[in-house]
Amino acid sequence: MMKLATFVMLFLSCLAAFAEDSAKQPDVDMQAIKVSDHVWYVEGKAGTATENEGFVSNASFIITGDGVVLYDSLGTPALAELLLKEIRKLTNEPIRKVIVSHYHADHIYGLQVFKDEGAEILAPAGVIDYLNSDSANSRLQERRVSLAPWVNENTRLVAPDRYIKESEKFKLGEIEFTISALGSAHSEGDLTLFVEPDKVLFSGDVIFDGRIPWLGDADTVNWLATLNNIKTAKPVAIVPGHGGLSNDPEALIKLTYNYLKFVREKMKAAVDDWVPFDDAYDEVDWGEYEYLPAFFEANRRNAYQVYLSLEQESLGSK
């Protein structure tokens, strides 16, 4: 009987320890940074997706007087809870909308927190391809391991309430917004958000700063065109998907734009000359980018994706 009682006590102790571990808040420095009269953002640390307990991307919020609009939701529910606490330090207005830049894991696993707050979730039309793919579930399973306990069995994929197919405007309180539907650029579908009175643009991952961009299955032709369009729009400030706020849009865009052009030029020369990818990659001098965070994790995969896409472009032009 004593042995059984001891076993039960040990079992309950383990359960309590597990519950305590699961309830822990991430040990990250998250502070709302004021951008303009109505706009704040939190800035993740430059790095790969599972570094800094998943806090590697940015999320932004706008206080309108009639509710809060968010742009992205961070990479774990625990981080989203911290973001909500930052919002509540500034306002008790309800969370009305979350505009999702794109459906990559480091931007969406916090959505469930804001959905439970009653927010409407808006996302680009291409997201439906991601949600119907095997990679959506496999990525979630992987993050339940690589970002445990912050991503766990209670973390769920949240589908949008509405898909944005074309650019549109809306107004909340006295604030006017423009959502731009970019089609496939960085991902299957991308959205930017422009806060009209503040002239602040949220770019999502069409702009990276401080680390190597992740190309994934990007359409680099459309991505470069999108960056050119952002240059001509001349916003007062841009909050990128990764990296710090900038009041110099052209300087902020430079890293992403130059990197995309560089990879395309090097891989196009290889495709045109029928050079195998491994040989082509090894012949490139990557020195300008090797110092950046995520280079060793992302660069070879990026170059290979561009090499394959350029092969398809070449076939399509014949």
The parent domain of residue 104 ranges over 29-250
**Euclidean distance between CA atoms 246 and 16, whole angstroms:** 45
Instruction: Assess if residue 155 is contained within a domain.
Output: yes
Provide the pLDDT for residue 314. 77
Provide the pLDDT for residue 267. 97
Edge-to-edge strands, sheet with 200-208: 168-172, 175-183, 190-195, 200-208, 237-242
Which whole number is the average pLDDT over 131-145? 95
Question: Does position 109 have pLDDT exceeding 80, yes or no?
Answer: yes
Provide the pLDDT for residue 124. 97
Nearest to 230 by CA among 262, 198, 252: 252
Yes or no: say if 212 and 289 are a contact pair by the CB < 8 Å rule: yes
3-state secondary structure of 30: coil
Question: Does position 19 have pLDDT exceeding 80, yes or no?
Answer: no
Write out the two tokens for 290: 């090797």
- Which pTM does this prediction carry? 0.89
**Euclidean distance between CA atoms 39 and 314, whole angstroms:** 44
Q: Which residue would you say has higher pLDDT here, 238 or 7?
A: 238
Q: What is the DSSP code (8-state) at residue 212?
A: P
Q: How confident is the model at residue 14 (pLDDT cuts 50, 70, 90)?
A: very low
245-294 per-position pLDDT tens digit: 999 988 999 999 999 999 999 999 999 999 999 999 999 999 999 999 99
**Euclidean distance between CA atoms 227 and 207, whole angstroms:** 8
Alpha helices in the chain (DSSP H): 2-23, 77-88, 105-108, 111-116, 127-131, 134-146, 220-233, 249-272, 277-283, 295-316
> What backbone torsions phi and psi does residue 41 show, to the nearest 5 degrees?
-150, 160
Strand pairing of 95-99 and 68-71? Answer: parallel
Instruction: Assess if residue 46 is contained within a domain.
Output: yes
Instruction: Assess if residue 280 is contained within a domain.
Output: no
For residue 5, CA distances in Å to 10, 12, 24, 246, 310 come to: 9, 11, 29, 61, 67
238-250 per-position pLDDT tens digit: 999 999 999 998 8
63-82 per-position pLDDT tens digit: 999 999 999 999 999 999 99
For the ranges 9-18, 81-90, 247-256, which has the lowest average pLDDT? 9-18
3-state secondary structure of 210: coil
CATH of residue 53's domain is 3.60.15.10
Provide the pLDDT for residue 17. 43
Provide the pLDDT for residue 295. 96
Q: How confident is the model at residue 3 (pLDDT cuts 50, 70, 90)?
A: low
Instruction: Assess if residue 291 is contained within a domain.
Output: no
Q: What is the DSSP code (8-state) at residue 318?
A: -
| Average per-residue pLDDT for the chain | 91
Q: Considering its fold, how many domains does the chain have in total?
A: 1
Instruction: Assess if residue 219 is contained within a domain.
Output: yes
Instruction: Assess if residue 85 is contained within a domain.
Output: yes
Provide the pLDDT for residue 2. 43
**Euclidean distance between CA atoms 23 and 15, whole angstroms:** 12
Q: Is 171 exposed, middle or buried (0-12, 13-18, 19+ CB in 10 A)?
A: exposed
Instruction: Assess if residue 5 is contained within a domain.
Output: no
Question: Does position 18 have pLDDT exceeding 80, yes or no?
Answer: no
Instruction: Assess if residue 214 is contained within a domain.
Output: yes
Cβ-count burial 297-316 (b if 16+ within 10 Å, e if not): bbbeebbbbbbebbeeeeee
Q: How confident is the model at residue 5 (pLDDT cuts 50, 70, 90)?
A: low
Q: How confident is the model at residue 122 (pLDDT cuts 50, 70, 90)?
A: very high
Strand pairing of 200-208 and 162-164? Answer: unpaired
Provide the pLDDT for residue 233. 78
For residue 246, CA distances in Å to 169, 233, 234 come to: 24, 15, 12
Alpha helices in 24-118 (DSSP H): 77-88, 105-108, 111-116
Q: What is the DSSP code (8-state) at residue 102?
A: -
Query: Any residues with CB less than 8 A from the CB of 1 and at least 6 apart, and which?
Result: none
Q: Which residue would you say has higher pLDDT here, 156 or 24?
A: 156
Which whole number is the average pLDDT over 35-43? 97
Provide the pLDDT for residue 216. 87
Provide the pLDDT for residue 20. 42
Cα 198 to chain center, whole Å? 22
Nearest to 76 by CA among 43, 113, 110: 110
3-state secondary structure of 117: coil
